[in-house]
Amino acid sequence: MTAAGRRGFFPADEPLEDKAIVDASALAGSLDAADHFWTSPALRARQTAKALGLQVTEVEALRDQDFGAWAGRAFKDVQHRQPEVSHALLTDPELAPPDGESFQGVALRVATLFDRLIAEPGHRIAVTHPAVIRAAILHVLKAPLMGFRYIDVEPLSFADFRSDGTRWLLRASGAVVPKSRLAKDSA
């Protein structure tokens, strides 16, 4: 979680909250062994990977959705100034914010990555963003992109995808780190 995200802002390249770093650090050493550890190029993803104690490679295809002119702006502000457009962004995967990227664009980027990896051996762990996870789930399930709005991805949750070389399977999704392992809220 970032301070901007907690306040309802469209994501930009902001840092994690201190508590999020502590929470991620509590998981260090608990992830399965992997052949590759990947991360989005975003600061918050790289900080999460570092807190998890991972030596990662940045993978451009794992970047968050680009919110263009709306990045760093409060959702309420955009909703107030452009109510039809902001509502449509939440319901239409083809719509992109001004100078930004549609969810459909994210889905195409993620599908291309998954299609390239389907027959490659090895175990990969990726630190990435909710939009990327939603796109991966929809791709693996061969579900319509409209379903993106019905998938909630919590911070520090896991989605497990497996390939038998010919198809992808969603093994688990939404597994969240036990609260007992995370720092207690100070509020």
Q: Which amino acid is at 63?
A: R
Apex 151 CA angle, 148 and 155, nearest 5: 120
| CA-based nearest residue to 133, from 72, 174, 98 | 174
- CATH (domain of 120): 3.40.50.1240
Dist. CA 79–CA 64, nearest whole Å:
21
Domain span at residue 20? 3-177
Helix orientation angle between 130-141 and 103-117, rounded to the nearest 10 degrees: 60
Element containing residue 38 per DSSP (H, E): strand 36-39
Predicted local confidence at residue 175, as pLDDT? 62
Does 20 fall in a domain? yes
Predicted local confidence at residue 136, as pLDDT? 94
Does 169 fall in a domain? yes
Predicted local confidence at residue 52, as pLDDT? 92
Residues whose CB falls within 8 Å of the CB of residue 104, separated by 6 or more in sequence, listed in order: 93, 94, 145
Does 122 fall in a domain? yes
Does 186 fall in a domain? no
Burial of 157 (0-12, 13-18, 19+ CB in 10 A): middle
pTM for the model: 0.88
Does 30 fall in a domain? yes
Does 185 fall in a domain? no
| CA-based nearest residue to 41, from 18, 61, 23, 22 | 61
**Going residue by residue through the chain (187 aa), what tens digit of pLDDT does each one get?**
887 888 888 888 999 999 999 989 988 888 878 888 999 999 999 999 999 999 999 999 999 999 999 999 998 998 898 888 877 888 899 999 999 999 999 999 999 999 999 988 888 889 999 999 999 999 999 999 999 989 989 888 888 888 888 999 888 777 665 555 444 443 3
Does 183 fall in a domain? no
Hunting for tokens 């970032």 — which residue is that? 2
Does 25 fall in a domain? yes
